[in-house]
């Protein structure tokens, strides 16, 4: 009797596991299918991208990539995108990590509020800040360079970094830093050489978020960059003309606009989890 119910329970568990796996696989397919379609347009002749009724079969071609390389300065686009996202991240970490540390170690009662306030900078609609920022960048001569984008994007990222590192450092007992100071390190030395190495996963996680957000950003660079500093996210829309949508070219360009960040996410995704798990609790 008990044996029967035990095996039934086991079978139930196994069935549940199977159902869970099936649900996961279904979710993965649902979330990836639209992208697969976009990438596939890059290998289709223009006439076969849409068919009536829609069909899956097509004659593969690399023509779209040829057109892409002929019309776009791809190395410049990729380097602008990388420059913007890495630059934003560097600036955000440079000011954000010390800020997060200081707020975490502070006994000031409004430290938490300040950390949240910095995070809340995201709430400001870009449209408003862009124009004054544009004029500011013009006056310092940075307009049309990736630095204009880096400086404004990094305000958002820095807020996020401060907030995340704040949670991180707060979870870290300060004793090790005291010990280091006894051993002759300055307070700054203790921060840089003792505290920071202990929170590397958090730093990597917030860096990844920052890279992703600025890599995908469209509105800021479309406004602030020039011909030599245009990133991929903006170029993606350039492929979209009014007289005709060059879907194939866009699909080809999308490879370069999304795959790098996808690869980073795939390779480093455990940092997201690790960083977030410890960052919040």
Query: Do the beta carbons of residue 212 and residue 265 sit within 8 Å?
Result: yes
For other proteins, the binding residue among 64, 88, 89, 152 (CB under 8 A) is: 152
How far apart are alpha carbons 235 and 40 in whole angstroms?
19
For other proteins, the binding residue among 18, 51, 62, 140 (CB under 8 A) is: 51
Cβ distance to other proteins smaller for residue 3 or 241? 241
Query: Do the beta carbons of residue 42 and residue 254 sit within 8 Å?
Result: yes
Cβ distance to other proteins smaller for residue 2 or 243? 243
How far apart are alpha carbons 259 and 196 in whole angstroms?
31
For other proteins, the binding residue among 58, 73, 189, 198 (CB under 8 A) is: 73
CA separation, residue 16 to residues 9, 11, 24, 29 (Å): 10, 8, 12, 20
Site for other proteins (CB under 8 A): how many residues? 129
As given in the structure block, the two tokens for residue 36 are 């697969």
Touching other proteins, residues 117-136 (CB under 8 A): 118, 120-136
DSSP secondary structure letter of residue 151: H
For other proteins, the binding residue among 1, 54, 57, 109 (CB under 8 A) is: 54
> What does the radius of gyration of the chain's CA atoms come to, in whole angstroms?
24
3-state secondary structure of 245: strand
Touching other proteins, residues 227-246 (CB under 8 A): 227-228, 230, 233-234, 236-245
How far apart are alpha carbons 225 and 17 in whole angstroms?
51
Q: Does 149 bind other proteins (CB under 8 A)?
A: no
Query: Do the beta carbons of residue 211 and residue 261 sit within 8 Å?
Result: yes
For other proteins, the binding residue among 96, 194, 202, 256 (CB under 8 A) is: 96
Q: Does 70 bind other proteins (CB under 8 A)?
A: yes
Least Cβ distance, residue 62 to other proteins (angstroms):
14
Cβ distance to other proteins smaller for residue 193 or 218? 218
Touching other proteins, residues 176-195 (CB under 8 A): 178-179, 181-182, 187-188, 191
Query: Do the beta carbons of residue 124 and residue 203 sit within 8 Å?
Result: no
For other proteins, the binding residue among 58, 196, 198, 268 (CB under 8 A) is: 268
């Amino acid at each position: 009797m008990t044996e029967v119910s035990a095996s039934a329970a086991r079978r139930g568990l196994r069935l549940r596991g199977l159902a869970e796996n099936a649900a996961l696989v279904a979710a993965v397919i649902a979330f990836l299918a639209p992208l697969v379609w976009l990438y596939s347009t890059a290998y289709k002749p223009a006439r076969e991208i849409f068919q009536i009724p829609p069909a899956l079969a097509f004659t593969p071609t690399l023509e779209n990539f040829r057109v892409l390389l002929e019309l776009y300065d791809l190395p410049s686009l990729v380097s602008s995108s990388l420059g913007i996202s890495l630059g934003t991240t560097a600036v955000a970490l440079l000011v954000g990590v010390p800020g997060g540390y200081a707020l975490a170690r502070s006994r000031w009662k409004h430290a938490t509020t300040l950390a949240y306030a910095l995070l809340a900078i995201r709430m400001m609609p870009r449209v408003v800040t862009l124009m004054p920022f544009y004029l500011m960048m013009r006056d310092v001569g940075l307009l049309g360079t990736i630095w204009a984008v880096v400086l404004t994007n990094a305000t958002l990222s820095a807020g996020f970094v401060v907030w995340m590192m704040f949670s991180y450092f707060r979870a870290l007992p300060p004793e090790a830093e005291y010990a280091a100071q006894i051993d002759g390190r300055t307070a700054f030395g203790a921060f840089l050489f003792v505290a920071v190495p202990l929170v590397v996963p958090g730093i990597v996680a917030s860096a990844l978020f920052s890279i992703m957000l600025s890599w995908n950003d469209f509105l800021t660079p479309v406004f602030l960059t020039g011909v030599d500093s245009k990133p991929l996210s903006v170029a993606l829309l350039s492929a979209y003309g009014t007289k005709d949508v060059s879907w194939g070219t866009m699909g080809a360009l999308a490879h370069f606009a999304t795959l790098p960040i996808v690869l980073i996410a795939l390779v480093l995704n455990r940092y997201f989890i690790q960083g977030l798990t410890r960052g919040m609790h």
